[in-house]
Amino acid sequence: MTQALSQNAVVAVIGAGAMGAGIAQVAAAGGHPVKLLDNRPGAAAQAIEGIRAQFEKMAARGKLSAEAAQAAGARLQAVGQVADLFDAALVVEAIVENLQVKQTLFKELETAVSEGCILASNTSSISITAIGAALGNPQRLAGLHFFNPAPLMALVEVVSGLATAPDVASTLYDTALAWGKTPVHAKSTPGFIVNRVARSYYAEALRVLTEGGADCATLDACCRESGGFRMGPFELMDMIGHDVNFAVTNSVWRAFFNDPRFLPSLIQQDLVDAGFLGKKSGRGFYDYQDGASKPLPTTVPALARPHEIVLYGQSAAAQALAMRLQANNVSFTQAHALGDTLATAGSATLRITDGRTATRCAVDTQTPNTVLIDLALDYAKATRLAVSVAAQCDDAAANSAIGLLQAAGFAVSQLQDIPGLIVMRTVTMLANEASDAVNQGVCDAAAVDTAMRLGVNYPCGPLAWANHVGLAQVSTVLGHLAQTYGEDRYRTSPLIQHHVFAAKDFS
Ligand code: NAI
């Protein structure tokens, strides 16, 4: 039985900024009378005008009947003070991101609303437990974390603090469902789910950039065209704004007592210091000023098709290569699996990265002509692949390996010989963090995958992706990264280790 609030329950939203207005729109569309309050005179009324215009637009596009749009708009009311929220069944706070200011507001609210009224905060980074500490009845407080823009983004994190009553979290979950959202439960820990796990998407790319692995445009292109991410990490950081992104990174890092997993990058610090905040300031990693053009990814020019191509085993990558070569009328032979060799082309051996550098791999496997390939979300569909070439590899062999991939229809970006290339290390670190969130009871495995797909549009949940790669392989990659860097940052999540030994995965 659903515990959702009934449609006649009054929903109050405090803060009529970007988020508050969006949340008010969602609640009004969900059928509730909505009271909107902002301490900036006129802000609530102005936001309501904007929401009504949105409803009208939706009606004009046929997404809503004219009557429904009119009715939803009429359910919104601007109010001037906290006392006006006396009849609310739920108050969602979306004011300035400051603990003291939020605590003061919730304390005032406690005296204004009925005992049964649920209090929720849309905070993206402040502990729900800490906000609740100021309240006489912290059981009724939870996080209700929408994503921007709230009317369009499906995900809502329902965040329970230490004192939050399970019933309150259930009511919020069911109410978000009734509003057409996809809620997930999360425990109040730094960054909740999305802002915690997503750190790795930026952190690994920044690491690779710091180490000169490739330029931003190339790394972005690999993440999009090979990893299937909608936006590359650098263009995404430029869009979010480095001030905002760096502040979130810092806050999560500090909140985890400086855990090196979340260590911010000096590059971010520099961009913020320089005022290069991204798109909004005209310059970030990229130049957005008039007349500036976006740099192209570095792509190896077309090379000759190698004469002797052998594909080994029946892995998804080998099968995809076979299919692509066939489609392009390139001849090859197939052989039984041979260790982790994916293919040979002339004298080159191609392997998928396992977190070692190509140079180390060449030594360990006594195969000087080693070329490593990055992870692709789907080797059958990827349009670009990153490769790295061992220092010992001769030019003819490197050209044969790259020629094979080009013959299979990939644009090839050759990165410097950094460990784990870009997509593999990013995905394994996303999965590592997602696994720790599950292991630490923040949420369950399904929730973290849903959250990352819907909150930041990842093409696949990190744990489902890790299952697909194989947890043993994920663990090997992380182990090799840890060996190379000697840093606690790359420690393997205990739950991944457990699953590898138990021959289980996250499904
Ligand atoms: P905003 O700056 O656009 O809007 C905040 C509004 O709250 C302003 O209109 C301001 O006048 C009003 N306000 C400030 N103090 C108030 C008070 N004591 N009483 C009544 N009104 C007050 O901010 P935004 O972006 O809408 O963020 C609001 C909250 O949502 C913050 O906690 C933020 O961390 C969180 N959030 C923001 C997201 C985003 O992408 N902008 C995403 C998810 C959460």
* pLDDT band of 398, cuts 50, 70, 90: very high
- Does one domain contain both 148 and 249? no
Tokens read off for 282:
């005209």
Do 168 and 60 fall within a single domain?
A: yes
Tell me how far apart the 2 most distant CA atoms of the chain are, in Å: 80
Work out which ligand 1 atom sits closest to the CA atom of 21.
26
Which of 93, 96, 125, 128 has most ligand 1 atoms within 8 Å of CB, for mutation? Answer: 96
Express each pLDDT in 453-467 by its tens digit. Answer: 999 999 999 999 999
Q: Is 125 a catalytic residue?
A: no
Count of all residues that appear for the chain in the document: 507
Q: Which two tokens stand for residue 402?
A: 């790259």
**Residue 472 neighbours by CB distance under 10 Å:** 14
Q: What mean pLDDT comes out for the span 8-21?
A: 97
In short, whether 475's Cβ falls inside 6 Å of ligand 1 is no
Question: Do 117 and 184 belong together in one domain?
Answer: yes
Residue 485 lies in a domain: no
Q: Which residues pair with 11 in a beta bridge?
A: 34, 90
Q: Output the CA 30–ligand 1 centroid distance in Å.
A: 21
- Domain contains 493: no
| Cα 70 to Cα 11, 18, 423, 437, distances in angstroms | 18, 22, 48, 43
Structural domains counted in the chain: 3
User: What is the tens place of the pLDDT at every residue in 468-501?
Assistant: 999 999 999 999 999 999 999 999 999 999 999 9
Do 167 and 47 share a structural domain?
yes
Convert the pLDDT of each residue in 28-78 to its tens digit: 999 999 999 999 999 999 999 999 999 999 999 999 999 999 999 999 999
Distance 246 CA to ligand 1 centre (A): 18
Residue 235 designated active-site: no
Instruction: Give residue 44 CA to ligand 1 midpoint distance, Å.
Output: 12
End-of-domain residue from the set 162, 188, 214: 188
For the Cβ of 417 lying below 6 angstroms from any atom of ligand 1, the answer is no
- 157 an active-site residue? yes
The answer as to whether 442 is a domain residue is no
| 108 in contact with ligand 1, CB cutoff 6 A | no
* 243-256: average pLDDT: 95
| Domain containing residue 323 | 309-414
Choose the catalytic residue: 32, 145, 185, 242: 145
Q: Is 123 in the pocket of ligand 1 (CB under 6 A)?
A: yes
Q: Which member of 32, 93, 122, 124 is catalytic?
A: 124
CB distance 97 to ligand 1 below 6 Å = yes
- Six-digit token string for 127: 């502990």
pLDDT of residue 352: 98
Strands 88-93 and 118-121 turn out to be parallel
Residues 181/243, Cβ–Cβ less than 8 Å: no
Q: Which amino acid is at 327?
A: A
Rounded alpha-carbon distances, angstroms, from residue 9 to 141, 173, 179, 483, 490: 17, 16, 13, 57, 48
Contacts 24+ apart (CB under 8 A), 107-116: 107/134, 107/135, 108/82, 109/82, 109/85, 110/135, 110/136, 110/137, 112/82, 112/83, 112/85, 112/86, 113/85, 113/86, 113/88, 114/86, 114/87, 116/89
Q: 274 and 314 share a domain?
A: no
Residue by residue, DSSP assigns 356-415 as S-HHHHHHHTT-SSEEEE---S-TTT-SEEEEEE-TT--HHHHHHHHHHHHHTT-EEEEP
Do residue 175 and residue 214 come from a single domain? no
Mean pLDDT of 76-90: 98
CATH code of 396's domain: 3.30.750.190
Q: Is ligand 1 within 6 A of the CB of residue 95? A: yes
Same domain, 25 and 50: yes
Provide φ and ψ at 153, rounded to 5°: -85, 130
102 Cα nearest atom in ligand 1: 18
- Whether residue 423 lies inside any domain: the answer is no
Cβ(155)–Cβ(180) below 8 Å:
no
Q: Are residues 46 and 163 in the same domain?
A: yes
Condensed to tens digits (0 to 9), the pLDDT of residues 410-445 reads 999 999 999 999 999 999 999 999 999 999 999 999
Q: What is the spatial distance between Cα 286 and Cα 291, in angstroms, rounded to a whole number?
A: 12
Q: Which residue has the tokens 């915690």?
A: 196
Average pLDDT over the chain, rounded to an integer: 97
- Asked if residue 298 belongs to a domain, the reply is no
Domain boundary residue among 137, 155, 188?
A: 188
Contact 234/285 with Cβ under 8 angstroms? yes
What number does the ligand 1 atom closest to the CA of 123 have? 32
Q: Which two tokens stand for residue 475?
A: 């663990």
Which of 84, 95, 126, 192 is the pocket-test mutation for ligand 1 (most atoms within 8 Å of CB)? 95
14 CB less than 6 Å from ligand 1?
yes
| In contact, 376 and 349? CB cutoff 8 Å | no
Distance (angstroms) between ligand 1 centre and the Cα of 21 equals 10
Q: Are residues 38 and 152 in the same domain?
A: yes
Same domain, residue pair 383 and 261: no
452 located within any domain: no
Nearest residue to 381 via CA among 454, 309, 459, 307: 459
Mean per-residue pLDDT, 331-354: 97
Per residue in 103-127, pLDDT tens? 999 999 999 999 999 999 999 999 9
Which residue, 245, 262, 281, sits at the end of a domain?
A: 281
pLDDT at 293: 93
223 with 166, same domain? Answer: no
Q: Is 178 exposed, middle or buried (0-12, 13-18, 19+ CB in 10 A)?
A: middle
For ligand 1, the distance from its centroid to the CA atom of residue 20, given in whole angstroms, is 7
Q: CATH no. for residue 161?
A: 3.40.50.720
State whether the beta carbon of 263 lies less than 6 angstroms from ligand 1.
no
Annotation marks residue 124 as catalytic: yes
- Give the CATH number of the domain where residue 254 resides: 1.10.1040.50
Do 96 and 159 belong together in one domain? yes
The response to whether residue 101 sits with its C-beta less than 6 Å from ligand 1 reads yes
Can you tell me the distance from the alpha carbon of 173 to that of 443, in angstroms, rounded to the nearest whole number? 14
